[in-house]
Amino acid sequence: MTPPVAPDAARGPGLPVVLLPVGTDDDALDACLAALDASLPAGSRVWLADDAQAGPRGVAIIERWLHRTPLMADYSRRQRALGEVAHIDQLLAACGGADVAVLAPDAIPAPGWLSQLAACFARDASIATATPWCNAGETAAWPRCGEVAPVPGDLERVARASASLAPCHPELPSAVAHAVAIRGSARQRAGGLDASSFGSWYAALVDLSLRLSGLGWRNVLCETAFVARGSEGVPADGDLDALAARWPGWHARLAEFLMHDPLHARRAELSEACARVLPALPQRELLA
């Protein structure tokens, strides 16, 4: 499968390729595409990949967006569903050694998110996955670890507050599925996703993260970026049992992290930064 938007294309800034697996929620899709236009530099590479999920209204939303977006975007659609994990594995394989950022179908990226993830990779060559903050991001959740909060009303303000934090990039137990940047060279070393064992991207990403960690790579929080979403990701039936069988210490490690929250101070720093950052001025473009 050749990516419609070639990872080595001459056009576009040097940022990861954005992969958006299309879901069935048309309103979430519309909001995500609008957020991509608002949050990415013109010419950024975006691949909308539809595993036979979008209905007629969703396809119409995509077609309208493709005609007006300033991004370097393309859309592929399978005639028959392959399955979430196998589909994303196919997309990643098609991107070869390129760095990619995979979004959840209901993600709402805040301004600057992709540039911050790219900067995270540039700071430390041992980072294999970088996960931004999220209102529904489990270990990367803000304002409270492991809790689902409403989508922030002023995402631009939260983005500016996040960008003001000192980038330490602390370790996470694994990457989280709301949004994750994956270093292409690391993914190639770890191999593909295990579509035969896992039914959800949620669990397959945990498995990939743990394999990367075993090879010496790091799975970190990119605390200078924020991507919201409408709900928290969930595993498919049987996925938690499969993770426990392959990684016997995983559930205890995750529970320990959620109970003791080693990133409590970082979450508090973001809350304090949000309180300091002024709301965006209305019609700021007319005042520039």
pLDDT score recorded for residue 3: 62
Q: Which domains does the chain have, with CATH numbers?
A: 17-277 (3.90.550.10)
Res. 279 pLDDT band, cuts 50 70 90: confident
Angle ∠(255,257,261) on CA atoms, nearest 5? 130
Whether the full predicted model's pTM is greater than 0.95, yes or no, is no
Q: Which of 137, 148, 197, 136 minimizes the C-alpha distance to 172?
A: 137
Binned at pLDDT 50, 70 and 90, residue 1 comes out as low
| Diameter of the chain measured on Cα atoms | 58
DSSP string covering 132-196: EEBTT-GGGBSSSTT---PPPS-HHHHHHHHHTS-----B-SS--TTEEEE-HHHHHHH----TT
CB–CB of 174/153 below 8 Å? Answer: no
Distance CA 130, CA 79 (A): 32
Q: Does the pLDDT value for residue 7 go beyond 90? A: no
Nearest to 49 by CA among 19, 80, 8: 19
Whether residue 286 is predicted with pLDDT greater than 80 in this model: the reply is: no
pLDDT surpassing 70 at residue 12: no
At 188 the pLDDT is 96
* Distance between CA atoms of residues 26 and 176, nearest Å: 23
How sure is the predictor about 223, in pLDDT bands with cuts at 50, 70 and 90?
Answer: very high
